[in-house]
Amino acid sequence: MGSGEAHVPEALDRAAREYLAHLAVERGLSANTVAAYRRDLARYVAFLAARGNHAVREVEADDVAAYVTALRTGADGGASLSPSSTARSVAAVRGWHRFCAAEGLADGDASADVRPPAQGKRLPKAISTDEVARILDAAGVGDGPGPLRDRALLELVYSTGARITEAVSLDVDDLDLGSGAVRLLGKGGKERVVPVGSFARRALDAYLVRGRAGLAAHGRGTPAVFLNTRGARLSRQSAWAVLRTAAERAGIDRPERISPHTLRHSFATHLLAGGADVRVVQELLGHASVTTTQIYTLVTPDTLREVYAAAHPRALG
């Protein structure tokens, strides 16, 4: 497979080359992707050879598990990889083993039960309530239906924790401002009804009464709540631009980091900080599992210090 691999047994080398040809020809992967697979497999087959394996059918689960450890520690003489790079390399290894099993080059898949090390959880990016307020205020600056729409859109996203796709997919019949609720269609076609706060209700009412008709006049009668200047449904990309423009106008530090998901993350973080139960937040966000929601319960060192200082009898003095 390349220089530095002269001691790799022919059977292992041939199996790797056959898999790479399969990726390039039958699956049509790009040259860059195939090259990345080639680098990953070159390191792996060299590792297998060093452990005394001469063919794929000789490889056992322990060999694959040992390789995962070597990727993280560099014990095989190669570079130690980050969890994300390890996961990518392990994916290449598992794909190769599945291919070899399907092609009869091995009696089974030795990698079937091997997983890369878990990657550390990263806290979702949330912004402060003050920053949210500044963005929402900035979205409504100006005259005409555009600012009314923009304020209503962002107020709704922050008020409900809606994904941006859910927000732009809303039809007028999905809104029940009288009872203060909205019906959202989430992932997998799963519906949920979410309360709408008073600020968002007022912004939506202002847009529907004074702004939407002006936009709809340019279109063909779509039932969408949020319309573009041609009277058609607002796209995700346009909604993203609405938020980015508002963040820049509000003077938010590094506005390029602000995305529609930032408002969703902030919605969840602010609810939990205010004492909401994690299972309630799970329902509001439309998460299938509470495990997904629990990442928002992770606290920062600053929060820990603040709680400790306020609660411990001998923290201050």
C-alpha distances (whole Å) from 263 to each of 146, 151, 153, 158, 168 are: 20, 13, 11, 5, 15
Question: CA triplet 170, 176, 179: central angle to 5 degrees?
Answer: 150
Annotated catalytic residue within 115, 187, 257, 279? 187
d(CA 215, CA 207): 10
244 is catalytic: no
Asked about 163 being catalytic, the answer comes back as: yes
The values of phi and psi at residue 29, to 5°, are -70, 155
Q: Which one is catalytic: 14, 192, 244, 261?
A: 261
Single out the catalytic residue among 43, 97, 151, 264.
264
Active site residue 151: no
Is position 37 annotated as part of the catalytic site? Answer: no
Contact 180, 196 (CB under 8 A): yes
DSSP H or E segment with residue 183: strand 181-185
187 belongs to the catalytic site: yes
Chain CA centroid to CA 153, Å: 21
> Would you give the end-to-end CA distance of the chain in angstroms?
68
Candidates 97, 134, 201, 287; catalytic one: 287
Which of 163, 201, 233, 265 is labelled catalytic? 163
Contact 204, 215 (CB under 8 A): no
List residues with catalytic annotation.
163, 187, 261, 264, 287, 296
